[in-house]
Amino acid sequence: MFLPYTRAASVGSFKIPVASAATDVTPNAVNWGNISYDGTTWTYTTQQITGINTPIILQISFSATYSFLRYKVNSTNTVPTGSTQPGSAGYISITQGGTFSVSNNQWVAFGTNDAISKSQSATVSVINLSDANTVLDTFTTSTQAAAP
């Protein structure tokens, strides 16, 4: 009898079928909070990715034109204070359709840069490309123009 997802292990001259764990690319539920920049203070949101046994690819989609989202994948749950701009805290800019990889037990944090001269807002969808384009969560982001 052969089990699904089997591989053969050799013992001497004998090959013994050994069951392998199925790949799990569906993380436990996540719920990122809304993020913003109000002209003076940044808010951040972070969630831990758990329940997977292989790295997954996440993609970002916006409901409207938005060019200020930043993300960071961490091994710990740390976010900067509200007076720290995401760019100076090592967050990476990501645009419509941008992707990144995350492994089990890593934290994914989001923040928004200041808008320099114009305000923008959008709904952000975080899509798991590794699991048939399943939407993991949506949250809103808004950015006010920086004070002159």
Say what the pTM is.
0.83
Q: What is the pLDDT of residues 79-116, one digit of tens each?
A: 888 888 888 888 999 999 999 999 999 999 999 886 66
Examine residue 3 and state whether it is found in any structural domain, yes or no. no
**Other CB atoms within 10 Å distance of the CB of residue 110:** 26
Give the separation between CA 114 and CA 38, rounded to whole angstroms: 8
Domain-embedded: residue 58: yes
Question: Can you list the positions of beta strands (E) in 75-128?
Answer: 92-93, 99-102, 107-112, 120-128
97 belongs to a structural domain: yes
In a domain, 1, yes or no: no
d(CA 70, CA 44): 10
C-alpha–C-alpha distance, residues 19 and 146, integer Å: 57
Tokens linked to 101: 């990889």
69 and 45 in contact (C-beta within 8 Å)?
A: no
Write the pLDDT tens digit of every residue in 19-74.
Answer: 667 899 999 999 999 999 888 888 999 999 999 999 999 999 999 888 889 999 99
Spell out the residues 6+ positions from residue 59 whose beta carbon is closer than 8 angstroms to its own: 97, 98, 99, 126, 127, 129, 133
Domain contains 148? no
Is residue 134 in a domain?
Answer: yes
**69 lies in which domain range?**
23-143
Residue 55 belongs to a domain with what CATH number? 2.60.40
Residue 6 confidence (pLDDT): 47
> Is residue 17 one of the residues assigned to a domain?
no
Q: Looking at the domain assignment, is residue 7 inside a domain?
A: no
What is the domain count for the chain? Answer: 1
